[in-house]
Amino acid sequence: MATVHYEVTDGVAWLTIDRPEAHNALSASVRNGLFDGVRRFNADGEAKVLVLTGAGEKAFCAGGDLKEMNETALTVPPPDFLPQLGRNIDVPKPTIAAVNGIAYGGGFLLAQQCDLVVAAEHARFAVSEVKVGRGAPWAAPLSWLVPPRVALEILLTGDPISAARAQRYGLVNEVVPGAELRERTQRLAERIAANAPLSVLAAKRTAYLSASHDRADAYDRAEEIWAPVYLSKDAQEGPLAFREKRKPVWQGR
């Protein structure tokens, strides 16, 4: 049976890890299914936003499948061990993690690499590698997402933090009751999907510029990113729709 499922609802693609009996751990079949699902989303013209989540109410993803790691005597994971959005697989469109339970190790990685995070109230986050003698090179961006001392505490202790605390630190955008997680995440994704597609893509690229460029270079690159948007037909459609008091009809060009 498939361990990862892909479905699209009103322009929002839901990619769900379906191994609740194993806390949605990252077995080989899950990792391959995630890669396939992300590639499918990239190629899906009807899907404007990707939501990554896990089946059940206990776990978003508990991280690597330690039993499988032991059986295969895994040492250093290869660069393509699992999809790291924006690192080993490009995802131009927006992504959201809907964290429905624990997000430990590789599960933390998956949430970290999404653009936005919506978490159930009972969700917990941990980079637990120090507790099992494994590594977390993928956590390099963490001190860009949260204050450095918070990142150090998360990495050095391996202890879980609550969804509420993660929101205070800026790791999570919204914390909601577990029963409302899918509906609230869908609504957020639909608000994004309703916007001008070229502007959305440019906005995402712009937001990450300061992570890898100095201020002056970031401004220059942002001008390059947004120039085609200003010159697009959608840039004329937006003001016209406002003047005519109607919803804009985006063409993505």
Number of domains making up the chain: 2
pTM, whole model, 2 decimals?
0.93
Tens-digit pLDDT profile for residues 24-81: 999 999 999 999 999 999 999 999 999 999 999 999 999 877 676 666 666 787 888 8
70 in a structural domain: yes
Q: What SS3 state is found at 122? A: coil
Residue 152 structural domain: 4-193
Q: Other C-beta atoms within 10 Å of 173: how many?
A: 15
252 in a structural domain: no
Predicted local distance difference test score (pLDDT) of residue 132? 83
Enumerate residue ranges in the chain where pLDDT < 50.
none
Clarify whether residues 48 and 166 are in a common domain. Answer: yes
76-98 b/e (C-beta count within 10 Å ≥ 16 → b): ebeeebbbbbbeebebebbbbbb
Clarify whether residues 134 and 235 are in a common domain. Answer: no
Clarify whether residues 162 and 37 are in a common domain. Answer: yes
Q: Which of 153, 175, 193 is the last residue of a domain?
A: 193
